[in-house]
Amino acid sequence: YSEIAEFIGHPKAVRAVGTAVGRNPISYLIPCHRALRKSGGLGGYHWGLPVKRSILAWESARAEA
């Protein structure tokens, strides 16, 4: 989220960006599930971490095929 906040010219708006991403009603068009913590951890996801893990695993399997 910090990268997005910097990109939009508001580097201190990290929480606002996180809130906006979390409320993304069209996540199938704007892939917010790809947002990770700075540490590389998964972080949270509006529909839960099991769903986030599943989507990321599905994308990874498609990329390897």
Q: Which residues are marked as active site? A: 32
Contact present, 11 and 5 (Cβ < 8 Å): yes
Report whether 49 contacts 42 (CB < 8 A). yes
CA distance 5 to 24: 16
